Amino acid sequence: MSGYVEQGEVVRNEQIGSDVWIMDIHAPKQAAQ
C-alpha cells in the first residue's frame, strides 16, 4: 500500500477504482463457486 501513497492521491484513487471494478467482475464468479 505504501507504493500507492508514494505515487500520489490521484494514482492511488485510480488504482482503487480499477481494483473495485475488477472485484465487481470476479466476485459473482467466486460466489457461484
Q: What is the average per-residue pLDDT within 11-29?
A: 65
Residue 17 clears pLDDT 60, i.e. is over it: yes
pTM: 0.21
Residue 2 clears pLDDT 60, i.e. is over it: no
User: What does the DSSP 8-state code read for residue 22?
Assistant: H
Higher-confidence residue of 33 and 4: namely 33
**Most distant CA atoms of the chain, gap in Å:** 37
Task: Return the percentage of the chain with pLDDT > 70, whole number.
Answer: 0
Task: Return the percentage of the chain with pLDDT > 90, whole number.
Answer: 0
- Are 4 and 15 spatial neighbours (Cβ–Cβ below 8 Å)? yes
Residue-level pLDDT at 21: 65
